[in-house]
Amino acid sequence: MSDIAVTLLLVGALFLILGSGVWIGLTLSGVAWLGMQLFSSRPAGDAMAVTIWGSASSWTLTALPLFVWMGEILFRTRLSNDMFRGLAPWMQALPGRLLHTNVVGCTIFAAVSGSSAATVATIGKMSLPELKRRGYPDGIVVGSLAGAGTLGLLIPPSIIMIVYGVSAEVSIAQLFVAGVLPGLLLAGLFSAYLAGWALLNPGRVPPADAGLTLAHKLRESRHLIPVVLLIAAVLGSIYGGIATATEAAALGVVGALLISGVQGSLTWHTFKESLLGGVRLYCMIALILAGAAFLTLSMGYIGLPRHLAEWIAGLGLSQWQLLLALMGFYIVLGCFLDGISMVVLTMGVILPTVQAAGVDLIWFGIFIVLVVEMAQVTPPVGFNLFVLQGMTGRDIGWIARVTFPFFLLMVAACGLIYVLPEIVTWLPAQMKR
């Protein structure tokens, strides 16, 4: 059977099983099992057991449940309300007002977690209830959160950058530095879109709170101090070389518990509910990750990613044509694989072609991260969409639709860094001096 026929068969099976109401993680595992049974000689059951165990026991992912739990603590105590109370006065004058808290919150938390799913889950736990209570439209709230959550991959520290750095044999420290300006650029594009949307839809944005003087704003900003201290502790421990991301996540949990305890908002009930809520949310994410890992293994045995990458490499394209083709390739691949799997499975074939075209590998790493970010919001295997589906109960098609404008902004960001490569290369160049 040809690669196209195999792809169509697996895609059809994926949509059929999803449409029947089966859990997403089990659907991914089922399609992977089907692919291995039909098109691979390796026993599917053995492969599934080994892969799911490996995914579940990954030390790299240990930070994820801790960051999710930290978000639950922030959500169930006064800390999340305090964050909004501190930010709200300064954002009332912006078109879109408190919608920008999604972008600002995700930008800040992205510098802590390195995980798109953790960023969406944590900021979503804080922002979704507050914005809903204040009357902001669900579509723009969920769409902006799904889009801004992808910053978890781009703003360092980033797990995907580490994977790429190892694959491409480039400096991970330089990749981290290179991701700063593109991350801020993308956050700026998201906020600019929210401002434009608000100007075009003034009747859908709740009215501003009563005007506050500068003294009042500064007084309200004191509510940000606990959150800022928590973020500073987590970031400082990472960038100071004191703690790994996982250890910093544990520090974040302890810090959140201590601050909420000092504030008097931590009770046995909120502690228990935050722990149970974190377990439930992480179990949903972990099941999806396990299913995706098995699907990745299955497609690797079938050889689909490798065959597609070899086909692109053999087209003999110019530099901009090659990058455009790779963007399309990764967007399609991102419909079925997670970002780390996409990088691992294709870099061996893609990198020689990219180097032959004269593309800087640090720049290409940021380009890949941007394209992988798009995969987080493309159905049917968009992890940010799945996380938000679990948090909101909305249909994944609706979530993908309201997120689409932010997908286009990521495409625009890729275009901007191609036209102005200094956005990526300037900071690493200063680092070398």
Q: Specify the pLDDT at position 345.
A: 66
**Model pLDDT, residue 433:** 60
Q: Give me the pLDDT at residue 294, please.
A: 83
Residues 400/143, Cβ–Cβ less than 8 Å? no
* Residue bearing the bigger pLDDT, 417 or 306: 417
Backbone angles phi, psi at 338, to 5 degrees: -80, 165
Residue 428 has pLDDT above 90, yes or no: no
211-239, pLDDT tens digit by residue?
A: 667 777 777 777 778 877 887 887 777 66
Residue-wise pLDDT tens digits, 411-420: 999 999 999 9
The pLDDT of residue 283 is above 80: yes
Report the pLDDT value the prediction gives residue 130, as an integer from 0 to 100. 80
Q: What is the mean pLDDT of residues 250-269?
A: 86
Task: Report whether pLDDT(101) > 70.
Answer: yes
- pLDDT value at residue 396: 83
pLDDT over threshold 80, residue 316: no
Dihedral sign (CA 385, 403, 150, 254): negative
Measured between alpha carbons, how far is 170 from 188 in angstroms, rounded to an integer?
28
Task: Give the highest mean pLDDT range of 27-31, 107-111, 358-362.
Answer: 358-362
The pLDDT value given to residue 209? 66
* Number of CB atoms found within 10 A of residue 46's CB: 10
pLDDT tens sequence across 204-217 = 888 766 666 777 77
- Per-residue confidence (pLDDT) for residue 185, from 0 to 100: 94
Q: Check residue 381 and give its pLDDT.
A: 67
Q: Please check whether residue 158 is in contact with residue 179, taking contact to mean a CB–CB distance below 8 angstroms.
A: yes
In the predicted model, is pLDDT for residue 128 greater than 70?
yes
The chain-wide mean pLDDT, for the chain, equals 80
**Residues whose CB is less than 8 angstroms from the CB of residue 338 and which lie 6 or more positions away in sequence, other chains included:** 289, 292, 293, 296, 375, 381, 383
Q: How confident is the model at residue 186 (pLDDT cuts 50, 70, 90)?
A: very high
Does residue 14 surpass a pLDDT of 90?
A: no
Mean pLDDT score, 167-194: 87
pLDDT of residue 27: 81
Residue 162, classed as helix, strand or coil, is helix
| Residue 93 pLDDT greater than 80, yes or no | no
Rounded Cα gap, residues 391 and 389, in angstroms: 5
Looking at residue 366, its pLDDT comes to 93
Under a CB-based contact definition with an 8 Å cutoff, are residues 131 and 392 in contact? no
Confirm if 384 and 146 have CB atoms less than 8 A apart: yes
